[in-house]
Amino acid sequence: MSFTQKYDDWFKRLLPSPFSIAVILTLLVLLFSILSTEKPTIQLLTDWQTGLWNTNLLAFGFQMMLMLVLGHTLALSQFFDKSIQLLISPIKNTAQAAALVTFTTIVVAFFNWGLGLIFGAIIARKIGEHFSNKHIKINYPLIGAAGYIGLMVWHGGLSGSALSKVAEVGHLRDIGSNIELPAAITYDMTVFGAMNVSSFIALLLLVPAVYYLMGKRSTGKLLKLEGKVQNESNPKNLKGAEKIDHSTAINRVIGFLMLSLAIYLAISHSRMNLGFITPNYINFTMLSLCLLLHRNFFQFLKSIDKAIQGSSGILIQFPLYFGILALMKSSGLIVTISDFFIDISSPTTLPIFTFTSAALVNIFVPSGGGQWAIQGPIIIEAATQLNVPLPKMIMALAYGDQLTNMLQPFWALPLLSITGLKAKDILPYALVSLCIGTIIFISVLLIF
C-alpha cells in the first residue's frame, strides 16, 4: 500500500465527520472550562446555550454561507462555462493544462472562495473531457490537484472569513476584551497590504511553474470521461407570470442595476482604506453578478439549488463553534491560552506560532469562519499584549488556516465529485502545494 493510500485510510479511520469533531471539541472545552473556573457548571452551560445563538455571530455564519453559495452559483453560469471552453481550447499537454488550471484558479479564488472551489473543479473536469475527446494522454490527478489549489489562497483574498469580518466596524470589540482595539481593520491593511500582496504574487508565479514542471515529467494516460453538463433550455408555452422567471431581459436589467450600485458605492467611498469592502458588500456584488451572468431567474434558482447543498456544514456547525467561544470566554480559557502564547513568544515568533497553531486547528475545524470564532479572541489578546500588529496576526491565522486545506479533504469533496477523482489521487500533488505554501507564508511572516 502506497503512502497516499495509507494516508487516505488513516484520515477515514481516525477523523470523524466535521460535525462530530465540533461536538467532541464542545465536550472537551466544557470539561476544561469546568476544571479551570469556579463558576457553577449550570452557569457555564447557560452561557454555552446563549452563545449558540449569538445574534452577531449568527449573522457572520449566514454571511459566510452566502459567500460560498453565491460563488458556487456564479461558477455555474454560462459566462464561466464559455470562458473555460475558451481557455482550454489551445491546451495540448499536461504541463500546459496544469499551469493554466493553477494560475486561473488562484486568481479566481482570490476573489471568492466558493467561486474558486467550483471553478477549479469545473475547469479540471472540462480539461479531462477535452483530452478524452481528442484521445490525448493526461495526468488527470495532477490536474485535479491543480483545481484544488484555490483553497490554499482563499483566506488571503477578498472573501477571507477573518479578513472580511474584521473589516466590519465594531467586530473586533465584540469578540475581544481589550478596550483599545481599533473599530475595524480594513482591506488595505490585510488583503492589499504589502505582505499579503507579496505572498499572492509568489504563489501566482511559483505554483504554476512547479505544476508545469511536474506535468512535463509525468506520462499520463488516456481518459474516458463522459457526461457533460447540459444547459437546460427554457420550456415552451409559458403563460402569464411564468414568463418573468424565464425572462432574460428582466434578469439582466436587475443584475446590471445592482452591479452599478455596487460600483457607485466603491468609487464614492471618500477614504482610500477600502473600508467599504465588508461581507455584506461582497455578497451584494456577487448576487448582482449572479443575476447578470445567468440567463434568467429560472436558471439562477436552479444553480442556487445545486450550490446550497455545499453550505450545510456551515449552517449546522457554526453555532457549535460560537458555543465553544462562549464557553472559553465564560471560563477564562481565552486569557489562559493567550497567556501561554505570550510566555513562550516574542514579537517575532508570535506570528509563526499563530500560523502553526492555525494550520493544526484547521485539520480539526475545516472552516475559516469557525476557526476565527475560536482562535480570533486568543490571537487578539496575545497580539495586544506583545504589541504585534493586528493585521499581521490576522494574516498569520489566515495563512495557517488555508495551508492545511491541502491535507484536509473536507473542502475537496465538491471537486472530487465533479472530477470523478479520489482523495488519494490528488494528495501527492497537494502535498507539494503544501510545501510551497509553507515556504512562502513563513518567509513573508519573517520578512515583513
Residues sharing a CB contact under 8 Å with residue 164, sequence separation 6 or more, in sequence order? 63, 158, 277, 278, 279, 282
Q: Each residue of 154-178: pLDDT tens digit?
A: 899 988 888 988 888 777 766 655 5
CA distances from 192 to 183, 232, 400, 421 (A): 19, 40, 18, 35
Nearest to 152 by CA among 116, 100, 191: 116
Contact (Cβ atoms closer than 8 angstroms) between residue 151 and residue 406: yes
> Which positions of the chain have pLDDT values less than 50?
1, 4, 229-231
Nearest to 394 by CA among 160, 232, 194: 160
Half-sphere exposure of 99 (CA within 13 A, CB side): 15
pLDDT at 364: 67
- The DSSP output letter for 138 is B
Contact (Cβ atoms closer than 8 angstroms) between residue 248 and residue 299: no
pLDDT at 81: 81
Contact (Cβ atoms closer than 8 angstroms) between residue 185 and residue 172: yes
End-to-end alpha-carbon separation of the chain, Å? 43
**Other CB atoms within 10 Å distance of the CB of residue 188:** 16
Grid coordinates standing for 248? 432574460
Helices (H), 176-311: 194-217, 242-245, 248-267, 279-293, 297-307
Query: How many residues are listed for the chain in this entry?
Result: 448
pLDDT at 78: 83
In b/e form, how buried is each residue of 120-143, taking b as 16+ CB within 10 angstroms?
bbbbbbbbbebbbeeebebbbbbb
Nearest to 231 by CA among 82, 72, 69: 82
Chain centroid to Cα 359, Å, comes to 14
pLDDT at 1: 47
pLDDT at 229: 46
**Predicted model pTM:** 0.78
Give strand pairing partners of 138. Answer: 221
pLDDT at 231: 46
**Other CB atoms within 10 Å distance of the CB of residue 218:** 18
Grid coordinates standing for 343? 510566555
84/101 Cα distance (integer angstroms)? 10
pLDDT at 176: 59
